[in-house]
Chains A and B, each alone.
Chain A
Amino acid sequence: MQKVMIERAAELLSSGKVNRVLGWRAGLFAHDNTPSVFTDAADLQANFVYNEFCGANLSKYLVKESDKEGTVAVFLKPCDTYSFNQLIAEHKIKRDNVYAIGVQCNGMKDVNDREKLEERCASCKSRKHVAYDELIGESGEILDSNRFDMVEKLENMTSEERFEFWRGELSRCVRCNACRNVCPACTCEKCIFDNPDSGSANKAPADPFEENLFHIIRAFHVAGRCTDCGECSRVCPENIPLHLLNRKFIKDINELYGEYQAGETVNERGPLVNYTQGDAEPSVVYERGNS
């Protein structure tokens, strides 16, 4: 795969079809690859890498890269193509400036426990590329994933148990903002939590509930747009399972508005920004809250 990808990228550069290539740069070890922009063939040959430690989703970098002059080629794993579509739908990526190459993925390994697949890959929702200009390797199928199992477990807890669970997890948060900064759904130019004039900016939890609110608000803000790419949980230095918050929203949307997968297509109106007569009434909160 890697060899074919390098050759193709070099070809695209030399033919002038693209000006830059967004991919992964090899690191000190086999597992510390860094997202990187390549502009020449020698550099590609020497440093481009595609192995099972290319977890980083490159689609968010296209917000900046597609705003520059010229065309950028990008390598996208199946799950990355969902983020890609979603960002196009939100008018964050200039599609015309991007040449998207779908690449086959057999699952990415967990950097912390290299024998294991990453959580998101062990419960992969789809090995199908939903967008590309060309494909290297094979595109798979939408999978019958077990990704809502843990959400169900949480739903079946008493509210006290659930509160304990989340306090236990979120109390470790150091507010490094890695989850937010890596998130393809978080593309506000100035996040309210960074804005000193907003009254809600905080670099650190000023009181013990503050970081919980940060995560709850963030989960609400990305609801209906989160494609479940799993980047937030991958990058969290405190290993907080943030994806569970987002998956709860996805599961609720599926149940209340019908099956919906953000980023599956570009043209669809998401259920939370659309109105249909069958929509859930706000009062559903009371019914569900009592369960």
Chain B
Amino acid sequence: MYKLNLSEINAFFAKIAQNEKLYIPADNGKGGARYTEWAEGVELSNACNTERSAKDFFFPQTENLVDFKVNGKKIEVIDSREECEDFVVFGVRACDVKSFEILDSVYLTDPIDSYYKNRREHGTVISLACSAPEETCFCRTFGIDATKPAGDARAYIAGDSLYIEALTEKGSALLSSLGIAETDDTAAVYAQIAETEKKLAELPLAALEAKDFTKKQLDAFNAPVWAGLSQTCLGCGSCTFVCPTCQCYDIKDFDTGHGIKRFRCWDSCMYSDFTMMAHGTPRNTQLEKFRQRFMHKLVYYPMNNDGVYGCVGCGRCLKKCPISMNIVKVMKSLGEVTE
């Protein structure tokens, strides 16, 4: 493992930022943290996780796909794609790193999404092991180990040092170029892992079980509990927009006055015009829209992906839903009816 003193962390960031853009979680001045481009003076936040997920790096809220210029009867199609610049994201937590795998399974299987792939190839992810999980965290439920996050490299902050190890070739190329000292003395890291494991086991949601609903999909779909769960849902997009694994988008045209920009943007299954077709939308009631979000994460996605769930237990929807409805409440209620 590489090791450096925390007092040198800004010099470490500066070294990375010399060659490529670096993003780290920084305090947002409102009691939370947000990924911020590192520059002199930007400090690493102590927050457990960022309010917005890390999916923005690979799947931004909006992006232009193609431009059109119309001249009389001629339509010129302009491919506005550019090779993305290399960048590094530091401080991604285990749940969010796992969410990249889920996004990959959607965007990197045939047909491959070249926009997503471009960013993914040029991004290097340095994860950061958790040491202070929050009461809303339930990554463990999905078999995610907060003390051993994946990524191209993973870091630990233990005692007064930052420890960091490469997990992929990309990560090892980056780390070896930085001239940091290596160490064999990783006792502090293991002590911290043990301590964090204890904290994880004591979290209020530690006992939450992910039930296998895939064999009872119709029972789950028809469960009477949906009515109560969705009863006061506002149909806003908060839960889907803060979610690191929500991956749906819409494609729209925007008339700039000088041409047409075809862009895509995050969509939400909670919205009234989600998957709107000529005949209307297939899910007219909020119950159906609400059910879609959770069925997708707990049933449809696992059915198509060897039992892997479409939720990583980051807890963002627990914090941000205006009516405090969330996937944990859904899992508990569904668990009871499909027993």
- Find B241's partner among A174, A181, A207 (CB 8 Å cutoff): A174
Given contacts A27-B329, A194-B272, A203-B265, is CB(A178)–CB(B322) below 8 Å? yes
Q: How far is the CA of A174 from the CA of B265 in the complex (A)?
A: 11
* Contact B273 A36, beta carbon cutoff 8 Å: no
Interface residues of A in 33-68 (CB under 8 A from B): 33-37, 56, 61
What 8 A-B pairs come out closest when comparing CB atoms?
A204-B265, A235-B322, A32-B324, A178-B236, A176-B237, A181-B234, A35-B232, A237-B320
Are the C-beta atoms of A28 and B276 separated by less than 8 Å? no
Count, chain A residues at interface, CB 8 A:
39
Q: 0/1 per residue, B16-35, Cβ < 8 Å to A? A: 00000000000010111000
B238 touches A178 (CB 8 A): yes
CB-CB < 8 A to B28: which residues of A? Answer: 239
* B-side interface size class: 35 or more
Interface of A is mostly: loop
**Which residues from B are CB-within-8-Å of A112?**
31-32, 319
B residues within 8 A CB of A201? Answer: 273
B43 contacts chain A at the CB level, 8 A cutoff: no
Bound-state Cα–Cα, A178 to B51, Å: 16
Known: A194-B273, A204-B61, A239-B32. A56 touches B322 (CB 8 A): yes
Contacts of B318 in A (CB 8 A): 28, 32
B162 to chain A, nearest CB (A): 28
| B242 CB–A CB distance under 8 Å | yes
| A56-B323, A237-B242 known; A204+B236 contact, CB < 8 A | no
Residues 103-141 (chain A) with a chain B CB within 8 angstroms: 111-113
Q: Which residue of A lies closest to B323 (CB)?
A: A34
Q: Which residues of B are interface residues toward A (Cβ below 8 A)?
A: 28, 30-32, 51-52, 61-62, 135, 204-205, 228, 231-232, 234-238, 240-242, 250, 252, 254, 256, 261, 263, 265-268, 271-273, 276, 318-320, 322-326, 328-329
Q: With A34-B324, A56-B322, A181-B234 as given contacts, are A113 and B205 in contact (CB-CB < 8 Å)? A: no
| Chain B residues with CB below 8 A from A36, complex form | 228, 231-232
Pair A182/B234 contact, Cβ less than 8 Å: yes
Q: Give which listed residue, A31, A181, A205, A239, contacts B236 with CB less than 8 A.
A: A181
A residues in contact with B232, CB < 8 Å: 34-37, 61
Cross-chain contact of A194 among B135, B234, B271, B322 (Cβ < 8 A): B271
Residues of B within 8 A of A182 (CB): 234, 236, 322
Across-interface contacts of A237 in B (CB, < 8 A): 51, 238, 241-242, 320
For A56, what are the chain B residues with a Cβ–Cβ distance below 8 Å? 322-323
A-B contact pairs, 20 of them (CB 8 A): A27-B329, A34-B325, A36-B228, A37-B232, A112-B31, A174-B52, A174-B237, A175-B237, A176-B236, A178-B236, A181-B236, A182-B236, A182-B322, A190-B272, A203-B268, A205-B62, A206-B252, A235-B238, A237-B242, A239-B31
CB distance from A239 to the nearest CB of B (A): 4
Query: Is A282 interfacial (CB 8 A cutoff)?
Result: no
CB pair B135 A29 closer than 8 Å: yes
